[in-house]
Structure 1
Amino acid sequence: MAGIDRRPDSAEALVRALYAEHGRSLLAYATRLTGDRAAAEDVVQETLVRAWKHADDLSTGRGSVRGWLLTVARNLATDRARARAVRPAEVAEVEDFPPVEGDHAETVVNSMVVLSALDQVSAEHRDVLVELYYRGRSVTEAAKELGIPPGTVKSRSFYALRALRAVLGGPGNNPGDGTGAEVTG
């Protein structure tokens, strides 16, 4: 590699020549150092960039080019390991992180659909459904809160659920489908 030329037109030729001659051993060495093929490829790339930047040092004939490249690769791998040790652990590296149970997107969409459907039923039906299902009150508690008799709460909840099913397009709940399930209040 004596007489390495650093002119812009020869930069690509230099990197190609170094990689052709030393690339395989450099990649194998970097892979052993990092334990990761992708990280090793990054180390080799940076090593070749530094070789291009220090072409004058390589052309003097002192020491072997391969030794210089392997030393640079070792230093880069060491620097990467030190930087990773100082940084907080990434999520993928944390061992005790609890697994995600599932995607909650469907729950969010369902909630949005139900809220939209609640806007389409009468205020009396909506109030009963909110008290019974959203706030978790009993029929007696809902009746007391709404100021109506418990029997009215039961009746309204029956018709409110029927109306809600009709708005959501549930089977057998559409008005005039012959099932006698017309929405009434």
Structure 2
Amino acid sequence: MARLFARARATSRDEALVRSLYEEHGGALLAYAVRLTGDRAAAEDVVQETLVRAWRHADKLMSGEGSVRAWLFTVAKNLIVDKVRAKAARPTEVAESPTAVPVAKDHAQRVVDSMSVLAAIEGLSEDHRKVLVEIYFRDRSVAEAAQELGIAPGTVKSRSHYALQALRTAMSGRRAALEGTA
């Protein structure tokens, strides 16, 4: 019980110390912190943290060694330096603006889709695959694809029709398998 009363007296004494420190040095400490940070809200946070540290180290302050004011200003300066260093260590944050070009958050689905299409194309017959490559990948007209492949334009149209139909069937089967419905 005696320990409890002693601790209560010490806590009361420490709180009185912090109050007196704030009354005596708070204004100058705040002005100093504002000057270093350029931001009143940040400076108020620094003053608050400085006083919390004074409360935690009340025994050092009450020992009478050194200047209390110098200790407070040193703690405040160190807190500000620590915040600046921590901010410098992090990459800079870029705020989004309404005119910013939207960036895809996740391109994983596009990669999966591309891989699925390539696998489905690989499953086509060679004749069908060649027609699709000429028309869709090399961006050739039916006549140009026919000339390149050495076949009639009607054959190119027919093969592309059946190739796309087979591709749709293969893709719907892959989608159903991925979704677990097949």
Which TM-score applies when normalising by structure 1? 0.53
Judging changes above 3 Å, is the alpha-carbon distance between structure 1 residues 77 and 142 closer, same or farther for their aligned structure 2 residues?
A: same
C-alpha distance in structure 2 between counterparts of 1:34 and 1:120, whole Å = 67
> Which of 159, 163, 166 is the equivalent residue of 1:160?
163
Shift of 1:139: 0.9
1:78-89 alignment runs, 5 A limit: 78=81, 80-81=83-84, 84=87
Q: SS state of the match for residue 102, structure 1? A: coil
Aligned partner letter, 2:145 = A
CA shift at 1:147, angstroms? Answer: 1.9
Instruction: Tell me the percent identity.
Output: 45
Match of 1:122 among 122, 125, 129: 125
* 3-state SS of paired residue (1:152): helix
Cα distance, 1:56–1:121 mapped onto 2, change above 3 Å: same
User: C-alpha separation between the residues in 1 aligned to 2:94 and 2:49?
Assistant: 24
- Distance in 1, Cα, partners of 2:111 & 2:163: 22
TM-superposed CA distance for 1:34, in Å, is 6.4
**Larger proportion of helix:** 2
How far 1:158 moved relative to its partner?
0.3
C-alpha separation in 1, matches of 2:72 and 2:139: 71
SS where residue 61 of structure 1 aligns?
coil
1:34-183 paired onto structure 2 within 5 Å: 44=49, 58=61, 60-62=63-65, 63-64=67-68, 68-69=71-72, 71-78=74-81, 80-81=83-84, 84=87, 90=92, 92-93=93-94, 98-103=100-105, 104-169=107-172
Distance of aligned partners of 1:68 and 1:95 in 2 relative to their CA distance in 1, 3 Å threshold: farther
Report Cα offsets for 1:47-82 as digits up to 9, x if no partner: 95xx98x999646324338x6245313333145436
CA contact under 8 A between 1:33 and 1:74: conserved in structure 2? no
- Structure 2 length as normaliser, TM-score? 0.54
